[in-house]
Chain A
Amino acid sequence: MSDAFGILSYGAYLPRRRLQRKTIAAANGWFNPALRGLAKGERAMANWDEDTVTMAVEAARDCLAGMPPAAIGQLMLASTTHPYDDRQNAGIVATALHLGSALRVLDVTGSLRAGTSALGTALAAGGSALVAAGEHRLAKAASPQEMHYGDGAAALLVGRGEPIARLVASHSETVDFVHQYRGHDRAHDYAWEERWIRDEGYMKIVPAALGALFEASGTAASSVTHFCMPCTLPRVAAGLAKRVGLSETALRDNLAAVCGDTGAAHPLLMLAHALGDAKPGDRVLVAAFGQGCDALLFEVTDAITKLPPRAGVKGALARRKEETNYERFLAFNDHITLERGMRAETDQGTPLSTLYRNRDMVTGLVGGRCRNCGTLQFPRGRYCVNPKCNALDSQDDQPFSDLGAKVMSYTADVLTYSPDPPAYYGMIQFDGGGRMMADFADVDEGKVEVGMPMRMMFRIKENDAARGFVRYFWKAAPAANS
């Protein structure tokens, strides 16, 4: 076992729905005909029950898949769209992942560089850290951003062991170049002219950062085999590669056509994508632009070949469902006022003291395993549920989130209020014991059947709009879709 330091693993998550850009153009082209020129490909679109936190949890679970359990000292959640201004968003992720309370957590925000800044900080700090970045990006209807943006998350595990990639060099430039911004309390970004952003922003600030990185580390630009440059402006990434002397073949797909720009998560998403393709000895250069530029250069090691299988970006991209209903996209993002009916008026207030007492159960899906009879059960009662046992206080913590399950019974309910009717739910039986009545996520109409394998996913249970509280819980999704 080596004791080298670097990136130990990676993970990615994209919401399953992919909104077709021609659908957006068909809806909004009457108002902004220029959108028709952008009507190619698709963008990842968060479901109504997904946000930065839920997507980061899923990316982190992908990142930790198959990794030996090791103490994680720090968890960072980078985003410009954290659901809470005052409640540690990374703390929710940590609880969902059962990382324990002896943990330093940090929400990193305020810039589209938040993802790379978090990763750079973790690498500089030297300890074990899980760096997650996620975005649920909002854009005004008929804006170019609505076309360009995408929702998603990525995660990287940093620490000592057998790194799959080690940091060769890094450099950050900070320049208060405001190509776009979002003021306090504003839902949407305000952007300046693209030509100025290109000429005065990308083409000047990024080369300065990359040049400084190469010079300080004494590395040749030509040694880079993967160049991750998140930029949706046409031809800019290629122009940058050329300007700093990177080989043409190093420039990586920015995923614009298949997922869109996931903001602060995008540099890490592209890094995760590159690591999924990389071979030992490859050099991966990641740049992120936003009031300056972060640049991180990695060298991929032999350990990449031994990394346990994970979904990664390839898996996340393959888990896909075309969305051609633009109104659904608007509704999910609260951009139109639907008549939700009186059933939606039910008070969704969350008793915070109840949630706190039961945070492992609710946020972590932790149930019990009886020491006396071995029965798995959710939730954990004071008495074991096995009628032949019924022992008192006999249960150890048993996380159910990573256990597979099968559908026992199900329905598609149009009566109960759901932001995406019909509401699918049913009884699931966990492999190895335990069961629960669970909401289903990412189900295809008419495709549920008894016996179908399911996998638990961290999702929004309810949005308490009256109090601005997001309530999270776990849902069962078809294993084939997750």
Chain B
Amino acid sequence: MASGIRDKVAILGMGCSKFGERWDRNAEDLMVEAFEEGLKDAGIERDQIEAAWFGTAIEEQHVGKSGIPLAMTLRLPYIPVTRVENYCATGTEAFRGAVYAVASGAVDIALALGVEKLKDTGYGGLPQRGRGGLNNLFWANISAPGSFAQLAAAYRAKHRVDAKDLKRAMAHISVKSHDNGAKNPKAHLRNRITEDDVMKAPMIADPLGLYDCCGVSDGSACAIVTTPEIARGLGKKDLVAVKALQLAVSNGQEVQFDDWDGSYFATTRVAAKRAYREAGIDDPRKRISMFDVHDCFSITELVTMEDLGISEEGKAINDVLDGFYDASGRVPCQIDGGLKCFGHPIGASGLRMLYEMYLQLSGRAGERQRPAPVLGMTHNLGGFPSQNVSSVTIVGSYGA
């Protein structure tokens, strides 16, 4: 019986670039921006890093394939560098690789860095790209918003929710994230909006309007991880440790078998249960201090809070409208602005979520700081509701 990852690995340092339309910066510049902060925060030299995981999803838009771009940009000293890609959950995959390397005892200190330079396409939204030889021949002409928009149709049908009521809850989610993003100097979108703005915004994929969709951004984030013992030896106090690291990947059941109704993420439900077990958490609604979930679209956040077991199934609308997930609510969600406003440079996003949890748990979140958080949970999703990779990570005070 595996003992799990709980408290075996600590975060030594983290860094995150400013996210946004970084017209004046290459992907390499963003990587250095995040790495310099992370290295300083960790208090180590570059040469102490023994292995690295490099996350980037749409490499053809910027750095190209393999681990070489990371090694060359950061001048890493001939160490192992693994490039990972798992759709929009790529950043967390890089983190998972580094954490597992340390937990295995193979290395003492490992780096995870994610980057994406999305704003060199010439148009808005995510880059249009092929799906693979055979998939191109039969996949529907889907976009990211179009695939996630279908959650709303299925959710409404299942829970008999009026379209307007659901859209209003979705609007509240976006308004909340804009409020949070406004307080975050590194966020891409820092403007406040109203529910009315959301309701009246131009349609992207019915019922998702412009303000139901997250930012498409350039950015990079990184984590340097080690064992709690080494972290202590390096003089670190109040350690932030990894409590759970789970990933569930669709095997075709949702899109080809008959037992999924299109209104939720089957993967997230599985990954969340395993994560709570790994972290030893019985009542997540009470115990988790804050969330950063994969709010690529407002509807994703809404159904995810049910899939994580925080809101009851069919009842997330009530929690959302009651302000349960607001910055001032019981359990804030997207306190850093989320994908919605911090932005979504794909390969960096999972690490960016952890960055906020890390800052909060270290008491360094500035204007956004929550009083004494203990456990933070991130949820990083890639793909489409009908076939996706869903990763759930819990970090918290070492020993808690």
Chain A residues with a Cβ under 8 A of chain B = 341-343, 345-348, 350-351, 354-355, 358, 361-362, 375, 377-379, 381, 385-387, 408-418, 422-423, 425-427, 429, 433-439, 450-451, 461, 471, 473
Contact = CB atoms under 8 A, between A and B. Distances in A.
B141 A375 contact: no
A413 B255 contact: no
B78 interface: no
A410 B163 CA distance: 14
Interface in B332-385: 384
A409 B262 contact: yes
Contacts of B252: 381, 385
Could you say which of B128, B137, B156 has the most chain A C-beta atoms within 10 Å of its C-beta?
A: B137
Given A354-B137, A417-B141, A439-B141, 5 more contacts: A354-B133, A385-B252, A410-B150, A413-B206, A435-B257
Contacts, number: 141
Contacts of A437: 139-140, 142, 147, 255, 384, 386
A355 B205 CA distance: 30
A473 to B, nearest CB: 6
Nearest to A432: B258
Contact of A417 (B128, B137, B261): B128
A117 B133 CA distance: 40
Contacts of A473: 137-138
B206 A422 contact: yes
Nearest to B258: A433
Interface stretch (B26-34, B41-49, B119-127): B119-127
Contacts of A439: 140-141
B153 A413 contact: no
Given A358-B134, A408-B154, A425-B140, A413 B262 contact: no
Given A409-B150, A425-B142, A435 B255 contact: yes
A437 B150 CA distance: 11
A411 B128 contact: no
B134 A354 contact: yes
A361 B138 contact: yes
Nearest to B143: A416
B257 A377 contact: yes
Contact of B146 (A355, A375, A423): A423
Interface string B241-256: 0000000000111011
A16 to B, nearest CB: 19
Q: Which 5 A-B pairs have the closest CB atoms?
A: A413-B146, A409-B150, A450-B157, A411-B149, A416-B143
A418 to B, nearest CB: 6
B140 A378 contact: no
B258 A429 contact: yes
A411 B258 contact: no
B129 A425 contact: no
A309 to B, nearest CB: 30
Contacts of A438: 140
A410 B256 contact: no
Given A415-B125, A415-B205, A434 B256 contact: yes
Nearest to A362: B137
Contacts of A412: 203, 205-206
29 contacts: A342-B121, A342-B123, A343-B123, A347-B130, A351-B133, A354-B133, A358-B137, A361-B138, A381-B252, A385-B256, A408-B154, A409-B153, A411-B145, A411-B149, A412-B205, A413-B142, A416-B143, A416-B146, A416-B205, A422-B206, A425-B140, A436-B255, A437-B142, A437-B384, A438-B140, A450-B153, A450-B156, A461-B137, A473-B137
A478 B350 CA distance: 40
Contacts of B258: 375, 429, 433-435
Contacts of A423: 141, 146
Contact of B151 (A362, A409, A435): A409
B204 interface: yes
A409 B205 CA distance: 13
Contact of A450 (B121, B130, B154): B154
A422 B85 CA distance: 31
Nearest to A413: B146
A346 B156 CA distance: 34
B14 to A, nearest CB: 33
Contacts of A461: 137-138
A322 B98 CA distance: 61
Contacts of A354: 133-134, 137
A451 to B, nearest CB: 7
A377 B256 CA distance: 6
B141 A425 contact: yes
Interface string B262-292: 1100000000000000000000000000000
A387 B261 CA distance: 16
A411 B208 CA distance: 9
Contacts of B263: 409
Contacts of B128: 342-343, 345-346, 416-417
B205 A411 contact: yes
A195 B256 CA distance: 61
Could you say which of A342, A416, A418, A471 has the most chain B C-beta atoms within 10 Å of its C-beta?
A: A416
B146 A425 contact: yes
B163 to A, nearest CB: 11
B257 A426 contact: no
Nearest to A376: B258
A123 B143 CA distance: 49
B137 A416 contact: no
B123 A375 contact: no
A219 to B, nearest CB: 52
Contacts of B122: 342
B209 to A, nearest CB: 10
